[in-house]
Structure 1
Amino acid sequence: MMKKSRLGRNLDMLLSGQPFEDLVQTAKPHKEELRHLPIEWLQAGRYQPRREFAKEALEDLANSIRTQGIINPIVVRLIGDNRYEIIAGERRWRAAQLAKLNEVPVLIKVISDETALAISLIENIQRQDLNPLEEAEGIQRLINEFKLTHQEIATTLGRSRTTITNLLRLLSLAPQVKLLLQQGQLEMGHARALLSLSSNLQIQAAEKIVKNKLSVREAERLVQNGTFINAEIVIPLKIDADVQQLERKLSETLGAKVYFKQNAKGKGQLIIHYNSLEELDGILSHMN
């Protein structure tokens, strides 16, 4: 396992909260070289946390590259004869391939494995198009490799410590739920609402959320009420004046709190609350 000290000055800069670009620029500045290289000499970085690249976004970037070229060079390091590993800028490299470029501008760095890992992880975590799980996995790798605290990572990435902690909690989701999150069928808010459940119940609730296209607020109520367990999903009615008046009349008549709920198919429930058996007896007597 890597130790913090092995990154030396570069990790000190990382922990100081300075932008990631400064880390790239100060990695052995006296041994860097700006060149144009054949695109086939480059290969994806081994420390890339991103598993998926959205095709539509790559096409958009490729169109931009066709008209404007690559403005920021791809950061690479030499790993063999005519073989360069990408440290930062893999999306630009993939888009350049779609744009049918023969060569790409690169900034060649001489950096250690540890520094390459730090740069690659932070560069990708700071991208807005990473899905929450990819972010969480990248953050966890920073913790594992460099023994960083949640606060140190938060400072480096310009996030709150709470945000970092909440992202890491996503790693405890059931595998099926993680897949739904990766595919964009669940939002992070949905996933957070499921964290208090066991794996089996997470899967049941997630399937109901996706099937019924629930909002995050509706998902939170679903989990809180437990209505997804072998039952129809119950969604509170949008209460209009007539419904409110009916609820008030029933509450006054029965001497208990009453409200209506319905599911996405229009089926509903009349909910009557009581706090004791004596109160229930009173409600039943009113009904008789």
Structure 2
Amino acid sequence: MKHPFSRFFGLGEKEEEQVDMETPSRNEEIKKIAISDIVPNRYQPRTVFNENKIAELAQTIHTHGIIQPIVVREYDHGKFEIIAGERRFRAMQKLGWETAPAIVKDFNDTETASVALIENLQREGLTPIEEALAYGKLLELHQLTQEALAQRLGIGQSTVANKLRLLKLPQEVQEAILQKQITERHARSLIPLKDSEKQVKLLAEIIEKNWNVKQTEERVVKLLSSLDKKPKPKRKAFSKDMRIALNTIRQSLTMVSDNGINLDSEEEEFEEYYQFTIKIPKKKS
């Protein structure tokens, strides 16, 4: 069975061995690296770590030891950046370990970012916003279309598109998804409103009243319906003589401006008349 990364990078079997993150190849060894010399991955898509889950993992490691080493790269003055295994690293920190078993890979920034993103996307637990950010970063790193990215990840193009739409929602809505106050379907229901103020206002209602997705969708339909019913201001039809007069004044103002005279003009329409206000600044002597 091919490694999930090989489909993304288009690797052959020989190259695939080098990308198999947590199984050391014949040329690699598992090293003991000081915990204090290890730093998190800058491209880590996971922004929310469940502390209870980390504590459970720490207990498992304490009882059974580390089954798989973490994967790192050396990148700055003896420091090592995590490529894969940040949850295990955090668990080892919680246990107070001084060193961590690690495989050291020779990866550049793009490879490090891509592997970290894909490795997390292949696992469960990312929030929809974290997934969307990961898709966006991969599109940027590899200059791919949404369709090409979907093919490489083995998912539908609509999945990528729907996730990326979430990033157009206000920050308050995105944060609510991250904190699991609302679901992805709640958030997608807000998209048709378009206006960010209305979306944030409705978000507060959803949380306060604990609405399900169907109730949210019904509320959005009502809001859109009320917007469509708002009467649009009617513009009075001008007589032919009025149109000639207005056009003549506008042309005259244009001619004055074209002759190098600075003027400030404003048009206002009232119930009974049309008003031009013209200001010509005096030249200082």
The TM-score normalised by the length of structure 2 is 0.69
Larger radius of gyration: 2
- Say whether 1:143 aligns with 2:139: yes
- Say whether 1:24 aligns with 2:23: no
Distance change in 2, residues 1:160/1:191 (3 Å): same
Gaps of 5+ in 2: 227-285
| 3-state SS of 2:192 partner | coil
| 3-state SS of 1:71 partner | coil
Distance change in 2, residues 1:16/1:152 (3 Å): farther
**Aligned residue for 1:208?**
205
Distance change in 2, residues 1:215/1:22 (3 Å): farther
**Aligned residue for 1:162?**
158
Distance change in 2, residues 1:31/1:111 (3 Å): farther
Residues 214-248 of structure 1 deviation map (CA, whole Å, 9 limit, x = unaligned): 1111111111122998xxxxxxxxxxxxxxxxxxx
Distance change in 2, residues 1:203/1:114 (3 Å): same
In structure 2, how many angstroms separate the alpha carbons of the residues matched to 1:96 and 1:61?
Answer: 9
Say whether the 8 Å CA contact 1:61–1:92 is kept in structure 2: yes
Instruction: Report 1 or 2 for greater relative contact order, CA contacts < 8 Å, sequence distance ≥ 6.
Output: 1
Gaps of 5+ in 1: 1-9, 230-288
Q: Give runs of aligned pairs for residues 65-144 of structure 1, distance below 5 A.
A: 65-144=61-140
Say whether the 8 Å CA contact 1:17–1:158 is kept in structure 2: no
**Aligned residue for 1:46?**
42
| 3-state SS of 2:205 partner | helix
In structure 2, how many angstroms separate the alpha carbons of the residues matched to 1:218 and 1:17?
Answer: 47
| 3-state SS of 1:79 partner | strand
**Aligned residue for 1:235?**
none
**Aligned residue for 2:8?**
14
- Say whether 1:218 aligns with 2:215: yes
Task: Give the drift of 1:209.
Answer: 0.8
Q: Counterpart of 1:206 in structure 2: which amino acid?
A: L
In structure 1, how many angstroms separate the alpha carbons of the residues matched to 2:49 and 2:18?
Answer: 25
Over aligned residues, Cα RMSD in angstroms? 2.9
Q: Counterpart of 1:14 in structure 2: which amino acid?
A: F
Say whether the 8 Å CA contact 2:21–2:71 is kept in structure 1: no
- Say whether 1:56 aligns with 2:52: yes
In structure 2, how many angstroms separate the alpha carbons of the residues matched to 1:25 and 1:222?
Answer: 48
What is the total number of aligned residue pairs between the two structures? 219
Say whether the 8 Å CA contact 2:128–2:184 is kept in structure 1: yes
In structure 1, how many angstroms separate the alpha carbons of the residues matched to 2:68 and 2:6?
Answer: 25
Say whether the 8 Å CA contact 1:23–1:119 is kept in structure 2: no
Q: Please, which moves more after superposition, 40-49 or 191-200?
A: 40-49
Distance change in 2, residues 1:22/1:201 (3 Å): farther
Task: Give the drift of 1:63.
Answer: 1.1
The TM-score normalised by the length of structure 1 is 0.68
Percent of pairs with identical residues: 34
Q: Counterpart of 1:106 in structure 2: which amino acid?
A: A
Say whether the 8 Å CA contact 1:222–1:228 is kept in structure 2: no
In structure 2, how many angstroms separate the alpha carbons of the residues matched to 1:154 and 1:174?
Answer: 25
Distance change in 2, residues 1:151/1:214 (3 Å): same
Task: Give the drift of 1:31.
Answer: 6.0
